[in-house]
């Protein structure tokens, strides 16, 4: 049992190091190098080597307690940056999926309406072509034109747009298509549906969710680097 709990404790520690400490440490190092070198010597490796050597000498002259405190401060700074980035993942996800706050409702509604207008225009064009060219007399070229009009609508959204972003409509369209075509309310039925899905399907869904979460975290890490670039 002790071995089990010891192994279980390693997993959060590995996750903590992977998500916070290592990326945060890299950012702190990059920030320090950027401050020390500036734009004038941003790509000067010789100057960077000199700065690192001087830092090492200065650190070596410190007393043992001071060196420990410096290491602890570096670790805390790294983890602090990591925690800030983790806090940014929720806003990034909300922006991508079009779940914008009330303060942005005017911009959200305007963008959603613009997307809906473009989508409806392509749908009307497809419907007009279908009426103009009945299925029984339709040539391959005419069918290709109808398919192209449908593809242009699908590139915007797979269902009537309800969100201001392409990614948000891609997620929302899953629920709309399931409801319109299969009369399945995923919002209500999903908890029960998840329990009866085959293991392979659940594994695919979990893998897709994990990839999306990793992408959100990667983009969130780009934000402090962008701030550092502008500030530098």
User: What contacts 41, CB < 8 A, 6 or more positions away?
Assistant: 47, 48
Task: Count CB neighbours of 191 within 10 A.
Answer: 8
Q: pLDDT band at 14, cuts 50/70/90? A: low
Listed by start position, the domains of the chain span: 2-96+223-231, 103-196
Q: What is the pLDDT of residue 18?
A: 58
- Alpha helix positions (H), 97-231: 105-132, 140-156, 166-182, 186-196, 199-231
CA distances for 3 relative to 6, 8, 13, angstroms: 5, 9, 16
Most confident segment among 12-16, 72-76, 119-123, 207-211:
119-123
Could you count the other beta carbons within 10 Å of the beta carbon of residue 99?
17
Other CB atoms closer than 10 Å to residue 115's CB: what's the count?
22
- CA dist., res. 232 & res. 227, Å (int): 8
Please report the pLDDT score of residue 4 as a whole number.
Answer: 37
Structure tokens at 21: 């400490």
**42, pLDDT greater than 90:** no
H or E element that contains 28: helix 22-37
| Residue 158, both tokens | 């797979």
- Alpha-carbon distance of 130 to 55, in angstroms, equals 73
Residue 232 is given by DSSP the state -
> Tokens standing for 222?
């780009």
In the chain the first and final C-alpha atoms are separated, in Å, by 52
Q: Which residues contact 188 (CB under 8 A, 6 or more apart)?
A: none
Q: What is the pTM of this model?
A: 0.77
The stretch 25-42 carries a mean pLDDT of 81
- Residue 94 confidence (pLDDT): 93
Rounded Cα distance between 111 and 102, Å, is 14
**What is the Cα–Cα distance from 70 to 74, expressed in whole angstroms?**
6
CA–CA gap between residue 219 and residue 200 (Å, rounded): 29
Question: Tokens 């290491």 identify what position?
Answer: 71
């Amino acid at each position: 049992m002790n071995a089990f709990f010891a192994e279980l404790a390693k997993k959060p520690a590995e996750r903590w190091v992977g998500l916070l400490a290592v990326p945060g440490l890299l950012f702190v190092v990059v920030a320090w190098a950027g401050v020390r070198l500036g734009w004038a010597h941003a790509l000067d490796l010789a100057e960077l080597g000199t700065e690192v050597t001087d830092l090492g000498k200065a650190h070596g002259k410190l007393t043992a307690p001071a060196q420990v405190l410096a290491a602890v401060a570096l670790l805390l700074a790294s983890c602090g940056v990591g925690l800030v980035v983790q806090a940014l993942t929720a806003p990034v996800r909300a922006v991508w999926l079009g779940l914008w706050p009330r303060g942005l409702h005017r911009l959200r509604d305007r963008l959603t309406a613009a997307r809906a207008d473009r989508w409806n225009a392509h749908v009307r064009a497809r419907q007009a072509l279908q009426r103009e060219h009945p299925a029984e007399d339709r040539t391959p070229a005419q069918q290709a034109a109808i398919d192209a009009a449908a593809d242009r609508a699908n590139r915007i959204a797979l269902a009537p747009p309800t969100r201001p972003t392409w990614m948000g409509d891609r997620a929302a369209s899953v629920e709309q298509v399931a409801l319109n075509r299969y009369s399945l309310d995923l919002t209500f039925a999903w908890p029960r549906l998840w329990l009866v899905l085959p293991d392979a399907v659940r594994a695919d869904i979990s893998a897709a969710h994990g990839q999306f979460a990793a992408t959100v975290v990667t983009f969130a890490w780009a934000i402090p680097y962008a701030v550092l670039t502008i500030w530098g």
